Structure 1
Amino acid sequence: MEIPFSQISERLNNRRFMIADNIHGLSDAGTIFHYHVEGNAISGTYQGGLIRMGNLVGRVTGPDTIELLYQCLTRDGEILAGWSRGMVGVDLAGRTTLTFIWGWLSGATGGESNHVELVE
């Protein structure tokens, strides 16, 4: 489902997301992402599972698209960084969804991931 450009902030700002599926990634169902949006600028943090702590910055690139750079420190003490391009959607239950294609800046194999909004 496509959402208007102006609604990306509404769909992401101060909302939390969990991993629904992550092919080849370190993030899992225990990793929680918390996003903030100001204008077309996106920032956030994430942690849980294999991720001790992580940050992300990005921008809105279209009516339902975003791009992000991220970095994290794993529970094993490894520092990693990568990029992602994502689509913002809405599922049948009305929760915001994020679908990403991503890769590591080191050149290691990337993958795809799907996130779903945590509703409390």
Structure 2
Amino acid sequence: MATIDFNNKTFSLIDNSENGKVNADTIFEYKQQGHVVTADYYGGTVTYGKIIAILKDDILDMRYQCITSDNQLKTGKAIATISTLENGKIKLALNWEWLDDSNAKGTSVYLEH
């Protein structure tokens, strides 16, 4: 896979597990410096969130935290598999897990705008 550049890319949700907190109104704004990828996210069910990740080939190893619109503080981890669509847009398929007492797991799919 060619080197992926996340810098100044914007993503939104296209599919999420029922126990996920993000919805289609949540916007993710990514930045990248070398193999370090970060994102701020907000909107919809999320007041504010932050992602930090390490990029290796076609995988992002992510940690995230957010404050939801109902004032819950949530943290989690995810492995995002990166693919590029025919139109050149980036797609992220996440397998994620909440880092709380529930350790609930799920999947999400995001698409670059």
Determine which of 89, 93, 103 is the counterpart of 1:95.
Answer: 89
In structure 1, what is the equivalent of residue 10 of structure 2?
A: 16
Q: CA deviation at 1:107?
A: 4.2
In structure 2, what is the equivalent of residue 42 of structure 1?
A: 37
Q: Does 1:111 align with 2:106?
A: yes
User: How many aligned residue pairs are there?
Assistant: 111
Please give the secondary structure, in 2, of the residue aligned with 1:94.
Answer: coil
Percent identical residues: 29
Q: Which has the higher strand share?
A: 2
> Which aligned pairs between 1:24-103 and structure 2 lie closer than 5 A?
24-61=19-56, 63-103=57-97
Q: Deviations over 1:49-81 (max 9, x none)?
A: 1100001111012x1111110000011111000
Structure 2 alignment gaps of length 5 or more: none
Matches of 1:20 and 1:42, distance apart in 2: 21
TM, length-normalised to structure 2: 0.92
Structure 1 alignment gaps of length 5 or more: none
Q: Which has the higher helix share?
A: 1
Matches of 1:94 and 1:38, distance apart in 2: 21
Q: CA deviation at 1:48?
A: 1.0
Q: Which amino acid aligns with 1:106?
A: D
Matches of 2:96 and 2:77, distance apart in 1: 6
> 4+ residue stretches of structure 1 with deviation over 4 A?
none
